[in-house]
């Protein structure tokens, strides 16, 4: 059949057009070799009713020659008419099909039934099924098959079969009648098996009216095709195009060939109308397009509609073919690659060149574990062996294989029991810490204690140290220096904003993309089991939907638990007791108390001015100068400039901002030096190239003599123009450079004239030596940065002197405050707003917190009591409306340590006495006048020095904190420690300087 359809259209058309009414036919067999030949013979219009003519059809033979097939049409007549018949399954009945004018209506849900085609349908209505069976028994096996219309508002291309069947079974009577298309098909009931009815289409029908509702019976008219001219060239051309397209589709689709075979077994008269029905019936068009073909009675229009559908089918076949080809190529390529890989593995295995993947992986894991096998805990070894056995049993393509492989990769990468050799040399550690950081004696002392204990014990035990302090004081860099001093590996990870517990404890292995926690990653990266781990920004831990990381850190940082730390991914205990944990935080109060309890807190208050100058000179300036590519002899930054930079631009506790300003200065210096060099380069080039171009020529002697004369005059004029303020040594260097670099260079000219026989290469070499010598002699002006021009590099000063008053006014007292950025001075001002009998009250401003507002009320009460004791006749507080303000108003302030300062301010206003000059105080006050201890002693002491304070008043309970400060912090301060406010009163308002410290 495929060969028949693949015959050339030219051969087919030549044979068909050669046929005529008077065609001479060759004798041939009267039986068809296959049913499809009859179809092709009838497609050409050769087999017609009332004729016994034979036709020839051209097809491809296996030997390349044309086969001539003879087709004979048989005659059969009823009532004087001859109709062609084939060996079909259509049972001849009496009366004839056209005599049925009233038929049962069968709804078709999916596609219309075309004449000549089978269609099985399922009849759910028992009454309709019984009526069909009764009709078949009465030798009237005919019914009307009509396509069902879609429900209004539904998409005909998207519909569920079950829902359709259900909706059809629910339709009855008139509702079903209204849903049927008018044009349908007279169908012969071929067989009934259960509720399945097989129909064979005969001819077209049109519904005229409804006869009965249950089961639905309708009156019909039998439709006939409109008359057409079988010899019309347009109809023939259209039919030939349909045949050609069908042949192309049959080449690619076996399903279509099955349709053709089934069709040709039962239909013999395959003319133009049947060709249109055939193409539309087996196409993949939707039901509305098929119904349109069924309703069309004009044969030419029907052929055109069918041609459109078949053309669409050929396009779909092409797409299907390309998709199938692509998938087939992909699958065949993968299969071929797989087979080749398997063959390669087998060949290598036979030759002993290479083992399979699983064996190679197992060998790699065992080799990695071997150095630490003796140190590895037994329970870990057991888990590794079990996983290696499991790996051998798994298929390499399974997902569990990858999970097991990754798990073994992590298990064997951890340095079980592998410790780095620590250096317990205290003097070496002291030297390293001093090299990296200036000051910070508390931190250095604690590290040296740790090293000393490790030296005495012979083994070091991991500790948890928390460095707290303002930003920029060097907390993170201290951790790196500690690791270098101890000869430990260093690993840092920041937990700022961390909200996922899995970052600490790891994921479960069952999750896709599971990873161990940070500690397991740390051990794999550093390769030792005793590194120094820096956990940065531990006071900024987040908390999200994935758990509370602060609670997850408890097991990691608890010295009693971290010897058996359990990671969710590894699921085996890990010994972290030898790890030295160093945490950093800006504000200790932000760390949860259970976590803080596991740490040893070391506070880093910040740096005083002297320390900042040393740090800037010894560390920051040197690093920045090297980073900018500037030589030390090119720049000089005076101590006064650094002091102005610290006092007016960088008052914070740390040195990060100071480093930024120093970098800014050196960047501007680098730009200035580059600009100066660029402006000098063309001048030097002109000085060298000009004489050479003049000397090179035939009259060298004359040219040189002229140049010498010009040079002498130019040199005298240039020397006379030198600045008289230049130092003698600099004038000498400048004169030498003038003699060398002026545009004439007589010495060079004389040499070139005298030795005219010398080659040019030698002349160029001498000229180059002279240039290098001149560049070596030439000097670059040194850039000087002092307190006068520092503003040119970093802009206007940001801060001004913290001391606002040379002589403190009445009602104003300087207090000391602690901030996250270090210490700060804080003025407290009180003034009288209104005076009158019984108008005593207090108004407070300055954006104060709740605790500080309470301190103002306490201070007001204590001040009234003290004034009553000191000056009983003074009714100031009872008759005065006071206003207390704490600058700056834009900064939120809170805390109890300003209580004594507020009392002093109120008493100063009440007694109209200013406090002593250069005095600052801090301390919390009770209602009975007792002074309670405060925090941040070092920060407040540094702030007092910055504010040019000479005398400080601290609570007596803070004496020990002050004594532990470095000597350079306490130097030059007159500090008094008090435990009762009466002592502050005497110090603040008395001129006696001999009070006990």
Beta strand 490-494 pairing with 532-536: parallel
- In sequence order, what DSSP letters do the residues of 812-879 get, joined into one string? EEEEEEEETTEEEEEEEEEEEEEE-TT--EEEEESSB-HHHHHHHHHHHHHHHHHHHHH-TT--HHHH
d(CA 985, CA 993): 13
- In sequence order, what DSSP letters do the residues of 615-679 get, joined into one string? HIIIIIHHHHHHHHT--GGGEEE-HHHHHHHHHHT--SSSSHHHHHHHHHHHHHHHHHHHHHHHH
Whether the CB-CB separation of 646 and 612 falls below 8 Å is answered with yes
DSSP structure class, residue 99: G
Strand ranges, E, within 368-505: 464-468, 490-494
d(CA 858, CA 902): 9
CB atoms closer than 10 angstroms to residue 586: 17
Residue 807, CA distances (Å) to 388, 907, 916, 917 in order:
83, 17, 9, 6
880 included as an active-site residue: no
Whether the CB-CB separation of 294 and 204 falls below 8 Å is answered with yes
- Of the candidates 897, 905, 908, 938, the residue annotated as catalytic is 897
End-to-end CA distance of the chain: 122
d(CA 860, CA 626): 58
Alpha helices in 253-373 (DSSP H): 254-264, 272-282, 287-295, 299-351, 357-369
CB atoms closer than 10 angstroms to residue 144: 24
Helices 746-754, 760-777: crossing angle, 10 deg rounding: 160
Grouping H, G, I as helix, E, B as strand and the rest as coil, residue 299 is: helix
To 5 degrees, how large is the angle CA 872–CA 878–CA 880?
120
870 included as an active-site residue: no
CB atoms closer than 10 angstroms to residue 728: 7
To 5 degrees, how large is the angle CA 42–CA 43–CA 44?
90
Closest CA to 111 of 242, 286, 305: 286
- In sequence order, what DSSP letters do the residues of 870-882 get, joined into one string? H-TT--HHHHEEE
Closest CA to 925 of 988, 870, 855: 855
Helices 899-911, 850-870: crossing angle, 10 deg rounding: 40
Torsions phi, psi of 330, nearest 5? -65, -45
Task: Classify burial at 390, counting beta carbons within 10 Å of its beta carbon; exposed 0-12, middle 13-18, buried 19 or more.
Answer: middle
Whether the CB-CB separation of 943 and 647 falls below 8 Å is answered with no
- Of the candidates 236, 505, 763, 940, the residue annotated as catalytic is 940
Q: What is the 3 state secondary structure string of 704-718?
A: HHHHHHHHHHHHHHH
Residue 175, CA distances (Å) to 130, 206, 868 in order:
21, 18, 107
d(CA 893, CA 844): 12
Radius of gyration over alpha carbons of the chain, in Å?
A: 54
Active centre residues (catalytic): 897, 940
């Amino acid at each position: 059949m495929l060969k028949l359809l693949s015959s050339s259209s030219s051969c087919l058309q030549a044979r068909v057009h050669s046929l005529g009414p008077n065609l001479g036919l060759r004798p041939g067999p009267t039986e068809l070799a296959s049913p499809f030949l009859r179809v092709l013979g009838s497609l050409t219009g050769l087999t017609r009713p009332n004729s016994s003519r034979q036709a020839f059809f051209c097809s491809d033979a296996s030997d390349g020659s044309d086969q001539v097939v003879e087709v004979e049409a048989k005659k059969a007549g009823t009532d004087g008419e001859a109709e062609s018949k084939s060996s079909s399954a259509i049972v001849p009945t009496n009366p004839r099909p056209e005599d049925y004018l009233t038929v049962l209506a069968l709804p078709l849900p999916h596609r219309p039934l075309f004449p000549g085609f089978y269609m099985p349908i399922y009849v759910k209505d028992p009454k309709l099924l019984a009526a069909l069976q009764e009709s078949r028994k009465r030798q009237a096996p005919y019914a009307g098959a009509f396509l069902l219309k879609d429900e209004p508002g539904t998409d005909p291309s998207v519909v569920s079969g079950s829902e359709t069947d259900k909706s059809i079974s629910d339709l009855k009577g008139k509702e079903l009648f209204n849903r049927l298309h008018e044009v349908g098909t007279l169908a012969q009931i071929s067989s009934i098996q259960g509720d399945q009815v097989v129909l064979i289409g005969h001819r077209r029908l049109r519904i005229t009216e409804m006869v009965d509702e249950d089961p639905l019976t309708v009156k019909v008219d039998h439709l006939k095709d409109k008359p057409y001219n079988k010899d019309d060239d347009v109809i023939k051309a259209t039919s030939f195009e349909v045949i050609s397209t069908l042949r192309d589709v049959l080449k690619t689709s076996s399903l279509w060939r099955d349709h053709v075979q089934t069709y040709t077994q039962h239909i013999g008269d395959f003319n133009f109308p049947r060709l249109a029905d055939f193409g539309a019936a087996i196409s993949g068009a939707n039901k509305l397009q098929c119904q349109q073909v069924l309703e069309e009675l004009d044969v030419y229009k029907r052929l055109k509609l069918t041609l459109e559908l078949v053309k669409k089918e050929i396009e779909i076949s092409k797409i299907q073919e390309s998709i199938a080809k692509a998938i087939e190529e992909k699958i065949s390529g993968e299969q071929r690659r797989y087979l080749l890989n398997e063959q390669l593995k087998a060949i290598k295995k036979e030759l002993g060149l290479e083992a399979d993947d699983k064996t190679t992986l197992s060998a790699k894991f065992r080799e990695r574990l071997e150095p630490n096998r003796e140190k590895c805990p037994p329970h870990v070894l057991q888990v590794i062996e079990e996983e290696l056995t499991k790996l051998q049993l798994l298929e390499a393509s399974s997902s569990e294989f990858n999970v097991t492989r990754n798990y073994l990769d992590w298990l064997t990468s951890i340095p079980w029991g592998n410790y780095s050799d620590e250096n317990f040399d205290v003097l070496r550690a002291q030297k390293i810490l001093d090299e990296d950081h200036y000051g910070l004696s508390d931190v250095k002392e604690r590290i040296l204690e740790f090293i000393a204990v490790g030296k005495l014990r012979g083994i070091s035990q991991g500790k948890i140290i928390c460095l707290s302090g303002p930003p920029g004081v060097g907390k993170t860099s201290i951790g790196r220096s500690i690791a270098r001093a101890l000869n430990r590996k260093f690993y840092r990870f920041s937990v700022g904003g961390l909200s996922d517990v899995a970052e600490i404890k790891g994921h479960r292995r069952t999750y896709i993309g599971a990873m161990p926690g940070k500690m397991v990653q740390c051990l794999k990266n550093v390769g030792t089991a005793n590194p120094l781990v820096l956990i940065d920004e531990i006071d900024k831990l987040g908390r999200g939907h994935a758990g509370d990381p602060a609670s997850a850190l408890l097991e990691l940082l608890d010295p009693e638990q971290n010897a058996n730390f359990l990671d969710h991914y590894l699921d085996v205990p890990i010994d972290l007791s030898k790890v030295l944990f160093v945490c950093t935080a800006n504000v200790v109060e932000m760390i949860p108390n259970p976590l803080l309890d596991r740490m040893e807190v070391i506070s880093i208050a910040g740096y005083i001015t002297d320390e900042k100058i040393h740090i800037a000179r010894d560390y920051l300036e040197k690093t920045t100068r090297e980073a900018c590519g500037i030589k030390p002899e090119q720049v000089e930054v005076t101590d006064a400039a650094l002091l102005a930079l610290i006092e007016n631009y960088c008052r914070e506790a740390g040195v990060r901002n100071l480093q930024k300003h120093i970098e800014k200065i050196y960047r501007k210096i680098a730009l200035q030096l580059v600009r100066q060099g660029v402006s000098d380069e063309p001048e030097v080039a002109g000085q060298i190239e000009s004489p050479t171009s003049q000397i090179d020529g035939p009259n060298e002697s004359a040219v040189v003599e002229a140049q010498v004369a010009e040079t002498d005059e130019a040199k005298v004029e240039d020397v006379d123009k030198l600045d008289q303020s230049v130092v003698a040594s600099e004038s000498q260097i400048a004169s030498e450079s003038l003699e060398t670099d002026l545009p004439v260079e007589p010495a060079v000219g004389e040499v070139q004239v005298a030795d005219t026989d010398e080659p040019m290469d030698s002349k160029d070499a001498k000229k180059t030596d002279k240039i290098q010598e001149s560049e070596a002699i030439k000097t670059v002006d040194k850039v000087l940065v002092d307190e006068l021009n520092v503003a040119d590099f970093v802009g206007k000063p940001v801060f001004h002197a913290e001391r606002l008053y040379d002589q403190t006014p009445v009602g104003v007292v300087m207090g000391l405050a602690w901030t996250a950025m270090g210490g700060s001075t804080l003025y407290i001002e009180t003034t009288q707003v209104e005076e009158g009998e019984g108008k005593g009250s207090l108004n407070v401003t300055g954006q104060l917190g709740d605790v500080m507002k309470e301190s103002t009320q306490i201070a007001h009460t204590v001040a009234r009591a003290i004034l009553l004791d000191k000056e009983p006749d003074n009714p100031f507080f009872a008759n005065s409306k006071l206003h207390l303000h704490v600058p700056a108003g834009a900064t939120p302030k809170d805390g109890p340590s300003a209580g004594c300062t507020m009392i002093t301010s109120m008493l100063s206003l009440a007694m109209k006495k200013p406090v002593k000059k250069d005095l600052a105080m801090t301390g919390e006050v009770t209602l009975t006048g007792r002074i309670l201890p405060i925090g941040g002693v070092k920060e407040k002491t540094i702030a007092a020095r910055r504010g040019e304070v000479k005398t400080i008043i601290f609570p007596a309970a803070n004496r020990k904190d002050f004594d532990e400060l470095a000597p350079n912090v306490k130097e030059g301060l007159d500090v008094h420690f008090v435990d009762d406010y009466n002592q502050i009163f005497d110090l603040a308002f008395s001129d006696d300087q001999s009070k006990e410290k």
